[in-house]
Amino acid sequence: MKNRSFPSIILASIPMATAITFISSLLLACSSKPEPEAVEALIDDSQTDEAIVVYSSRNEHLISPVFALFTEETGVNVEFTTGKAGVLIERIKAEGANTPADLLVTVDAGTLGYAAQQDIFQPLDSAEVNTRVPVYLRDDNDYWAGLSLRARTIVYSTERVQPEQLSSYQELGDKKWQGRLCLRTSKKVYNQSLVAMLIAEQGEAKTEAIVSSWVANLAIPPTSNDTKVMEAILAGQCDVGIVNTYYFGRLQTKQVDLPLALFWPNQSIDAISGVHVNVAGVGILKHSKNVAQAKRLVEWLVSDNAQALFAGVNKEYPINDGVDINSQVASWGTFKSSPLPLSQAYILQPAAVKLMDRAGYK
């Protein structure tokens, strides 16, 4: 607040005794300790007007409409910066207590786990998040929570493969798929998390045998991304592959009569069996200057309206079963996902990377 003085012409027109009484009363009022309720109201008002700052590895076109809806519903502005997850995490570490950011939004449980290990998050401490986000889709230590779900599942040519020929991730190593399998590079975190979760489910020895059998069945060297896996299938270079569901959704949008389909593997009654899933997620930064509003945004992001938009815009699944699924995504059918905690992804990724290297998975 700027320092302000009374115009001398006003004081000159007031009798001296009256002026002294007036000034004393004013000074006393200014020095009085405000009631706690008044202080709380002032704090709340300042936080309401203060923009929330988000660093996001999720692309601008995917988060911009979501934050716009939040501002429309709450009146609170969101400022965001996008970039690669690793770069943003290093930036947050370098900025330390001076970071302007309040939240990090990124993808993959392994990446979220890495961020938590870098000591850049604080606990979410939200009953709303704990109620709406299933326990296996959030951090064991409450540092991050999932916001949308994607499945990493099998894709196949509808022209050369019958769905009854498929059954599990492991079965893609069967000799009948020799020279017919395509995979994305092992350097991508999505495959590292897939193998990490297979280790959690099957153990390291069995998982190494599975990955080695995949490598033996490869039709071409691993591709740079999931879209190229599907393009190779379309070109007849292979017949089956493993992709994230939203990549399939994007390609299907461009080509309605796409001769590809998704298959949900590992659907047996085994309690640890299921489709491998992963998340886009969020954490509140340790040095956030606007924690109350950051938490407000996180809790809004797991609400029904936000979930439908956040997931639907990228052809993903809401993290809450009670939320309507995008019609295109719903057309792919239902599946049972693996119930293993995704917090295991980061813990087991180092072992997964070494395992894939031993198996010759490039």
> What domains can be seen in the chain, in order of their start residue?
47-149+277-325 (3.40.190.10), 151-276+341-358 (3.40.190.10)
Question: CA-to-CA distance for 105 and 298, rounded, in angstroms?
Answer: 10
Task: Say how many Å lie between the first and final Cα of the chain, rounded.
Answer: 61
pLDDT band at 273 (very low <50, low <70, confident <90, very high): confident
Tens digit of each residue's pLDDT (9 = 90 or more) over 275-328: 999 999 999 999 999 999 999 999 999 999 999 999 999 999 999 888 999 999
Of the candidate ranges 123-132, 264-273, 352-361, the one whose mean pLDDT is the lowest: 264-273
Using the 8-state DSSP alphabet, how is residue 6 labeled?
A: -
* Cβ–Cβ < 8 Å for 345, 195: no
Question: CA-to-CA distance for 209 and 140, rounded, in angstroms?
Answer: 29
Q: What is the pLDDT of residue 341?
A: 96
Residue where the block lists tokens 């000074």:
27
pLDDT band at 130 (very low <50, low <70, confident <90, very high): very high
- Report the interhelical angle of 109-117 vs 344-358 (nearest 10°): 110
Tens digit of each residue's pLDDT (9 = 90 or more) over 15-57: 434 343 433 443 334 444 444 443 333 334 434 468 999 999 9
Q: What percentage of residues in the chain have a pLDDT greater than 70?
A: 86
Residue where the block lists tokens 């939040």:
70
Q: What is the DSSP string of 214-278?
A: HHHHBSSSPBSSHHHHHHHHHTTS-SEEEEEHHHHHHHHHH-TT-SEEEE----SS-TT--BEEE
Please indicate whether residue 135 or residue 11 has the higher confidence score (pLDDT).
135
Q: What is the pLDDT of residue 355?
A: 98
Beta strands at 78-82 and 145-157: parallel, antiparallel or unpaired: unpaired
Q: What is the pLDDT of residue 23?
A: 37
Q: What is the pLDDT of residue 124?
A: 98
pLDDT band at 227 (very low <50, low <70, confident <90, very high): very high
Rounded to two decimals, the pTM is: 0.85
Q: What is the pLDDT of residue 11?
A: 33
* pLDDT, average across residues 339-345: 95
